[in-house]
Homo-oligomer: A and B are copies of this chain.
């Protein structure tokens, strides 16, 4: 790709910023603080349903801002962990004592891996990096490398065999997986649970499960209700993606009562903020739930259209996904770092480069589905960027 001198300075700054953020992308506030000269029009790095954000804000305006209740949310201590768990219990049809409330799913991942993983953890790669980064000193990490040939989907038989061979005490399955979106069906998860009953902790991360479906009417799936019969199952649920409220920090984990008790016995007392408590109370209300579900399905359908259009573009391979994002491989010799920089500088679109993801071989980016109009802008920009590159390539070839 071609860059002007001015652009090259930005490319360099981007590189530094990315390195500082480690294996995660710098967020939008960090961006504004460190690269104020860049205007981000669309944050397609950010994996959230924007329609759900709209809905939450509608309720928040009406019930919290217009009533003046915002002061209470800011000023007062939120309820303790167990009280919020009670609010969710009825709605989820899960015993409150099996529910652990987290300051975002990330806190639950940390809590579970720090407290319950003993010696060996098996992690599918590519994956969300915190799962191996949060492992404590002395714990062995075994990677189950998902096959590129199989589009990084999980081969159940092979997986079960590998777990039986390595005998880890903890295994992790993100479903649908991040960063590729491959989905493992309930029947396959049940098979894993049945055959791997001897594994101490089976973590299923359902952060993106609201975008997956098994029936034609896109009905919600979840493995959370399997915890009662499978005490080694731990289901972790982020609320940031499906409800579009990452800034609130809300998540929960479903796990055996003893685990919840262990965590609460010496920590995690007031780990929800006032907004998170309001969110959880709203989440458990049927009026909100009904309206949310309509927007969830709308977003799934639009994401399917988005993926379909992406597949028409040249020089890229779009991997199968049941999440609200797609993993894209750049072919034709395009470098991911340059492509990401170009999209950001020229089109104001911020996307996730995947060069830090272990287990991915090639030039990969991860692209989030946003609102329909944003998705259209993304498609047009990608098209123009890819075609421009191709034209420049031809020019170069002619010159040579």
Contacts and interface: CB of A to CB of B under 8 A. Distances in A.
Nearest to A240: B77
A110 B74 contact: no
A273 B249 CA distance: 6
Interface residues of A, number: 62
Contact of A247 (B33, B73, B80): B73
A168 interface: no
Given A83-B33, A248-B274, A274-B247, A76 B269 contact: no
Contact of A74 (B26, B53, B135): B53
A30 interface: yes
B270 A78 contact: no
Contacts of A48: 75
Interface in A71-109: 71-80, 82-83, 87, 103-104, 106-107
A103 B276 CA distance: 12
A74 B46 contact: no
Copies of this chain, whole number: 2
A32 to B, nearest CB: 9
A106 B28 contact: no
B266 A27 contact: no
A268 B26 CA distance: 15
A53 B71 contact: yes
A16 to B, nearest CB: 13
Given A27-B77, A29-B76, A30-B79, 19 more contacts: A28-B77, A29-B78, A29-B83, A46-B77, A65-B65, A74-B275, A76-B246, A78-B246, A78-B249, A106-B269, A106-B270, A110-B266, A110-B267, A110-B268, A133-B266, A134-B267, A248-B274, A249-B270, A249-B272
